């Protein structure tokens, strides 16, 4: 443990109220994470054709594999803001770089909030110097607060692990409030580690970890313009080099996946109007891609999600969703259980009173749906939520 | 006009309360449509891998291109009921055929309602003889009522048109309450016409008409196990033969499309919890398939649909949905309007106060979203709805 005063070696944090959405408010909405030295860096970003200006800059600047700071704001996504949006983001990173005394190429912007509005530059510019001045080793929770939009709580996690020779740590923070948050401002996440991982390996690990965690959750099936998951590694002199020891690589990859899984589950739990968190486990497919197609169709079906909300073991909707996933299977041979209660076995409804038991299982805040298609040995799990009246209310009139 | 006592030449109707869902209720839930002679017939059915027993029988029996009667019920979808479901459906059509004095091969079953429960055969069997005895020329509205589930009103339409030589009529009826209704019981529709169209041509016309109408609407993006759209043509001696006159073919096809469009719009308007009906018009694509991909993504996005519910011209969500449709376009060059109010032109927000005007347009029960991607000359329109708190309530606990 490095202690709460320095939760992760090599990184400093700062957050400030800049009135991004509305002048004069005291809410933290501008944040900075800075590494002591240029860190090894990798990112995964949204696959939406329409992407925000900061996402474009992240892609450009991380080509080098190095990054020393992330400048983040909530309240404005700087998306669909054209050339102005990009030049604004460049300018802010330049101001930050100047104050930090480093190259702007080493700073990435990350934004979340309403789209289509230019950044309020006149309010942001003067906040950069005090933001940099306030950097300290301990304030990561302030950063986590500053990137929240409709999140009801900050999402952070610290994970300790070790290589064959030495302990290391991963610190993560994220904002979500839905895999898609209102106005597509959605997912921003930063993962920091005190172990030094070569950038190409870091990227490879991150892509794979994201595929198995962040990309296996869904609130409403939408994809944002701003999704960015950034990892910075070894931000201090003398950081342990991961090297090429394959068992060390495995330790790091495993810890990274755990950190990503923990953050993505926190995001789902705090999804808009969410009252149920459900693991959709599909097994018995010919390959993982098939399992994923089926799990996603189930996870994204409004009829399945409203049934979850009603704690109604309406298994027919689950089977029906699976049937439209474009994957061939035998409906008359599948097994289905909800909350561990077998409902369908070999295509037949079980004879016991599954209804009462399954309803009881669904009264829990988290439960599992397991669908075995018996076509092969592959499987996957997608994390989803219910659809509540509150989800509708939150999103019906978000901007006002 | 043939008058209300015989709304369509060659067909008779009957409906009865059989207590399908619950014994002893007075609700009409079993219905029969019978043609005086074997009619030319075609159908389109669900593309879900999991399909109901009656759907399988429709596919088998319409191979012949002839059909003389449709036996329909609500309250039970006879889906996911295995071999029992199929033998039950066969038995009911056989009882009906016997009483009508025709071959069972000429009767198709159509069911809608809860899935996973066997049909209550002991209650249905004794109702077949009185159902047949009550057939008359005028009771089509009773049939439209008998197939309703969560529909709040029956959906019917009569359309008069003419070939080059003679007038003809199309009578349609449908049940919907959502492109997907609760428990996937969803769409059943029957279209009757007094003109005689060769079965192969009828099928071709029906597939094309459905593609442009029923398959261009969405409530929640799900696909049912029971969707069936049946057309019966020329159910009487001396029916006008459509022949091979291409202008007559065009007249009929056009009338069929109009009838399908009218029924599908009625279904959308009566969708579960629907307060807004929205035409998503996408144009300027390289081909119609691209336009359809984009229109569907917009039409099915929960964030777009909740914004419709809130009468919020949250155009960013529309652009974002378009961006994830898998179609390449230039976000910085598109035009977007809501309710006829221009919002984005050539990728830039218009300078006028579009917000007030667009909000006012969205207060209407029906409005249009128009997105021009300027990549080509193709276009399409998808009809969708808002997502309301009531949709969630209706579906959270449908079965109880």
Q: Which of residues 210-269 of B touch A (CB under 8 A)?
A: 220-225
Question: What residue of A is the nearest CA neighbor of B49?
Answer: A323
Q: Does B317 touch chain A (CB under 8 A)?
A: yes
What's the confidence (pLDDT) of residue B223?
65
CATH architecture of B277-396: Roll (3.10)
Q: Does A270 touch chain B (CB under 8 A)?
A: no
Confidence of residue A244 (pLDDT cuts 50, 70, 90): confident
Mean pLDDT over B240-266 rounds to 90
A50·B389 Cβ contact <8 A = no
Mean pLDDT over B228-246 rounds to 88
B320·A50 Cβ contact <8 A = yes
Q: Please tell me the least confidently modeled range out of A38-42, A348-352, B12-16.
A: A348-352
Q: Does A116 touch chain B (CB under 8 A)?
A: yes
Q: What top-level class would CATH report for the domain B11-269?
A: alpha beta
Residues in chain A: 400
- Catalytic entry in B81, B156, B163, B186: B186
What's the confidence (pLDDT) of residue A241?
87
A319·B50 Cβ contact <8 A = yes
Residues of A in contact with B79 (CB under 8 A): 316
The residue with greater pLDDT, A280 or B224, is A280
Share of chain A above pLDDT 90, in %: 68
DSSP string for B236-304: STTPEE-TT-HHHHHHHHHHHHHHHHHHHHHHHHT-TT---EEEEEEEEESSHHHHHHHHHHHHH-HHH
Mean pLDDT over A224-229 rounds to 83
What's the confidence (pLDDT) of residue A46?
85
Q: How far is B254 from chain A (nearest CA, A)?
A: 31
ipTM over 0.85: no
Q: In the predicted model, what is the mean pLDDT of chain A?
A: 90
Q: How far is Cα A15 from Cα A369, in angstroms, rounded to an integer? A: 41
Q: In the predicted model, what is the mean pLDDT of chain B?
A: 90
Q: Does B312 touch chain A (CB under 8 A)?
A: yes
A392·B395 Cβ contact <8 A = no
Of A82, A114, A182, the CB nearest to B332: A82
Q: Which of A47, A49, A116 to probe by mutation at the B interface, max B CB count within 10 Å? A: A49
Q: How far is Cα B178 from Cα B24, in angstroms, rounded to an integer? A: 28
Of B48, B303, B396, the CB nearest to A312: B396
Residue pair A86/A57 in contact (Cβ under 8 Å)? The answer is yes
Rg, Å, chain A Cα set: 22
Confidence of residue B130 (pLDDT cuts 50, 70, 90): very high
Confidence of residue B398 (pLDDT cuts 50, 70, 90): low
Q: Angle at the Cα of A157 (from A155 to A161), degrees rounded to 5?
A: 165
Question: What residue of A is the nearest CA neighbor of B390?
Answer: A389
Confidence of residue B177 (pLDDT cuts 50, 70, 90): low
pLDDT over 80 (residue B399)? no
B316·A182 Cβ contact <8 A = no
Q: Does B351 touch chain A (CB under 8 A)?
A: no
What's the confidence (pLDDT) of residue A236?
92
Q: Does A61 touch chain B (CB under 8 A)?
A: no
Domain ranges for chain B: 11-269, 277-396
Among all residues of A, which ones are annotated catalytic? 186
Backbone angles phi, psi at A226, to 5 degrees: -125, -5
A310·B395 Cβ contact <8 A = yes
Q: Please tell me the least confidently modeled range out of A92-96, A150-154, B251-255.
A: A150-154
pLDDT over 50 (residue A37)? yes
Question: What residue of A is the nearest CA neighbor of B387?
Answer: A392
Mean pLDDT over B335-344 rounds to 96
pLDDT over 50 (residue B1)? no
DSSP A80: S
B184·A316 Cβ contact <8 A = yes
Q: How far is B181 from chain A (nearest CA, A)?
A: 9
Share of chain B above pLDDT 90, in %: 68
Q: How far is B225 from chain A (nearest CA, A)?
A: 7
A331·B47 Cβ contact <8 A = no
- The distance in angstroms from the start CA to the end CA of chain B is 44
| Pick from B113, B107, B129, B116: nearest CA to B20 | B113
Confidence of residue B355 (pLDDT cuts 50, 70, 90): very high
| Alpha carbon separation from A337 to A303, A346, A369, A377 (Å, rounded) | 17, 12, 6, 18
Number of Cβ atoms within 10 Å of the Cβ of B347: 16
DSSP β-bridge partners for residue A226: none
Question: What residue of A is the nearest CA neighbor of B400?
Answer: A312
| Pick from B207, B140, B208, B151: nearest CA to B179 | B151
Of B184, B309, B397, the CB nearest to A396: B309
Of A225, A307, A322, the CB nearest to B320: A225
pLDDT over 60 (residue B369)? yes
| Pick from B288, B264, B287: nearest CA to B213 | B264
pLDDT over 50 (residue A180)? no
Query: Binding site residues of B for substrate, as ranges?
Result: 149, 175, 186, 272, 395, 400
Q: How far is Cα B35 from Cα B197, in angstroms, rounded to an integer? A: 15
Residues of A in contact with B271 (CB under 8 A): none
DSSP β-bridge partners for residue A74: A112
What's the confidence (pLDDT) of residue A242?
85
Mean pLDDT over A204-216 rounds to 89
Of A183, A307, A329, the CB nearest to B317: A183
Of B184, B302, B319, the CB nearest to A317: B184
pLDDT in tens, B60-108: 999 999 999 999 999 999 998 989 999 999 999 999 999 999 999 999 9
């Amino acid at each position: 443990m490095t202690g709460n005063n320095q939760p992760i070696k090599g990184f400093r944090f700062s957050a400030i109220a800049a009135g991004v959405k509305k002048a004069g408010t005291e809410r933290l909405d501008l944040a900075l994470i800075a590494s002591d030295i240029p860190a090894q860096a990798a990112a995964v970003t949204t696959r939406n054709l329409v992407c925000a200006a900061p996402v474009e800059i992240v892609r450009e600047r991380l080509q080098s594999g190095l990054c020393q700071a992330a400048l983040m704001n909530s309240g404005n996504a700087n998306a669909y803001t054209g050339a102005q949006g990009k030049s604004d983001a460049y300018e802010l990173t330049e101001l930050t770089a100047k104050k930090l005394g480093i190259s702007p190429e080493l700073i990435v912007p990350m934004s979340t909030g309403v789209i289509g509005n230019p950044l309020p530059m006149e309010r942001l510019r003067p906040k950069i110097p005090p933001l940099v001045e306030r950097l300290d080793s301990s304030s990561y929770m302030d950063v986590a607060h500053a990137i929240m939009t409709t999140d009801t709580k900050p999402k952070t996690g610290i994970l300790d692990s070790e290589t064959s020779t030495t302990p290391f740590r991963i610190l993560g923070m994220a904002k979500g409030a839905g895999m898609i948050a209102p106005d597509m401002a959605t997912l921003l996440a930063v993962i920091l580690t005190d172990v030094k991982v070569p950038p190409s390996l870091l990227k490879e690990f991150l892509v794979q970890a994201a595929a198995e965690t962040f990309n296996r959750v869904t609130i409403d099936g939408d994809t944002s313009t701003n999704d960015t998951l950034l990892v910075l590694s070894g931000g201090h002199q003398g950081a342990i080099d991961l090297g090429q020891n394959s068992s060390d690589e495995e330790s790091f990859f495993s810890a990274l996946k755990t950190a990503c899984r923990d953050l993505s589950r926190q995001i789902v739990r705090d999804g808009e109007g969410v009252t149920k968190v459900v693991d959709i486990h599909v097994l018995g497919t010919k390959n993982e891609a098939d399992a994923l197609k089926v799990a996603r169709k189930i996870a994204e079906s409004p009829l399945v999600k409203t049934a979850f909300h009603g704690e109604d073991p309406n298994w027919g909707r689950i089977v029906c969703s699976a049937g439209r996933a474009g994957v061939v299977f035998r409906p008359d041979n599948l097994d289905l259980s909800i909350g561990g209660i077998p409902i369908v076995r070999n295509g037949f409804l079980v004879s016991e009173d599954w209804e009462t038991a399954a309803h009881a299982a669904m009264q829990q805040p988290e439960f599992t749906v397991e669908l075995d298609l018996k076509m092969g040995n592959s499987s996957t799990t997608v994390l989803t939520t219910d659809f509540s009246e509150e989800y509708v209310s939150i999103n019906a009139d978000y901007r006002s």
